[in-house]
Amino acid sequence: MTQLADSGIGDLRRTFEGPVLGPDDTEYDDARRLWNAAIDRRPAVIARCRSAADVSRAVLFARAHGLEIAVRGGAHNPGGSSSVDDGLMIDLSLMDDVTVDPAAKLARVGGGALLSKLDAAAQEHGLATPAGMVSHTGVGGLTLGGGMGWLTRKFGLSIDNLESVQIVTADGQLRRAAEDENPDLFWAVRGGGGNFGVVTEFEFRLHEVAPMVSFGLAFWELDQGTDVLRMAREVMAKLPEELNIVVAAVNAPPAPFVPAEYHFRPGYALIVVGFGTAEEHARTMAEIRSTLPPLFEFESPMPYVALQQLLDEANGWGMHAYDKGFYLDEFTDDAIEVITAQVPLKQSPGSVALFYRLDNGYSAVADDATAFSGSRAPGWAGFIVAVCPVPELLEHDRAWVRSFWDAMVPVSRGQGMYVNAISDLDVDDRVRASYGPKYDRLAAIKTTYDPDNIFHRNANIKPA
């Protein structure tokens, strides 16, 4: 394969607007790096696209030379699906323009943009759309899998706010997909991941989001897990619509708002974010405080863009990671028993179990309106993530993630998960379980747009 690529790489360079890199180029090692340091792959060619025409050229070149394709947006996929040994990496990171039309409340976002660029451009006009909680994540991979974050309780997933996409399909054609054009393809890209082509531009609806939001974090000792999770259940049942909560089993970060004696202390945190009045947020924080006095807490107004960047450093590039997800209807006593037994068994201080709340705006969308890999019933998306500063710790914590997940299956919604949390690339049964009854429709659409399954480095849907 590499030889084939070498012979043709000059041809590709001549027609390409962006740089085309091979292993001998000085920028090659930087360009092939991924967020997860545990993944080290060496593509034969890295095609750094500048336009939809470049993407099309790269797809056709890979097909002509029999090269396996990987598509790179923000490079955050935990399984490293965005790179490939000896194949062709379609690198979209130079296609990161964001244009906001404040009157129409729409944003056009390049297929390789990071969340930080979208958040900043929209907030210039007091606008935002739901996205993830770490701003160096790619809009591309995040959105195509669904996209959940602080605004999801209010406005749904990222895909629920998608108006249209421009997408290069397996035949090299650039197509528009929206409700009024290629609606089947539009349905499939809203949750079906990178299976259907390379999205060169996303068009999002934006909402008014005040530049300042209310932030609160309360932290408890590890042995208080049962009480914290029971309290989260109670607080959640009456949480105002303008607020959102993340529950985290986590080590206290060495951040300025954490007293020095608690840095790295393992425990449980409730993070409460408010998009309404400060009083409403303060009332919920007071209720939490009086129900179960925390070890320490922190409360402050902050700009929305600062909220979006708050977890950036703790989730920086260079960690060795492994991820698995599940859905919970509720923190039942059985689920709490499993979680509190498993959390203390991790070794790396960076490894976490996180729970994102899904209801309200999320649940207002019908189950079959998009291809999203999960039910729209109110509940929690759980993530068990090994995050290790050195590779030696990953072996242990990867096994921890797997046995924690196995123990959660009987007390959760089962084997299905948010596909963006799948770290293992060859898990057909897991992908089927995640899409459930939507899988067959996705497979039929895959047959139309990618019958040879050239876009298979993802939570792969096989052509029917």
- Pattern 87-116, ligand FAD, x by CB under 6 A: -----x------------------x-----
The reply to whether 72 sits near ligand FAD by the rule CB under 6 A is yes
Burial tier of 274 (Cβ tally within 10 Å: 0-12, 13-18, 19+): buried
Residue from 45, 71, 106, 217 that binds ligand FAD (CB under 6 A)? 71
The reply to whether 130 sits near ligand FAD by the rule CB under 6 A is no
Q: How far apart are CA 372 and CA 353, in angstroms?
A: 22
Put residue 86 in one of left, alpha, beta given phi > 0 → left and psi -120 to 50 → alpha: left
Asked whether the beta carbons of 430 and 417 are under 8 A apart, the reply is yes
CB atoms within 10 A of CB 408: 23
Q: How far apart are CA 365 and CA 359, in angstroms?
A: 10
Q: How far is CA 222 from CA 47, 254, 264, 266, 269, in A?
A: 47, 17, 12, 6, 10
Q: How far apart are CA 233 and CA 134, in angstroms?
A: 25
Min CB(321)–ligand FAD separation in Å: 7
In 219-344, which residue ranges form alpha helices assigned H by DSSP? 225-237, 278-291, 304-309, 333-342
In 310-453, which residue ranges form alpha helices assigned H by DSSP? 333-342, 391-408, 428-435, 439-449
Q: How far apart are CA 377 and CA 181, in angstroms?
A: 29
Q: Which is nearer to ligand FAD, 81 or 348 (CB)?
A: 81
Residues 180-219 interacting with ligand FAD (rule: CB under 6 A): 193-194, 198-199
- Pattern 17-36, ligand FAD, x by CB under 6 A: ------------------x-
The reply to whether 458 sits near ligand FAD by the rule CB under 6 A is yes
- Pattern 382-421, ligand FAD, x by CB under 6 A: --------------------------------------x-
Min CB(145)–ligand FAD separation in Å: 6
Residue from 148, 162, 209, 394 that binds ligand FAD (CB under 6 A)? 148
Residue range at the interface with ligand FAD (CB under 6 A); choices 7-15, 72-80, 251-259, 405-413: 72-80
Contact residues: ligand FAD, CB under 6 A? 35, 71-78, 81-82, 92, 111, 132-134, 137-138, 140-142, 144-149, 193-194, 198-199, 315, 420, 457-458
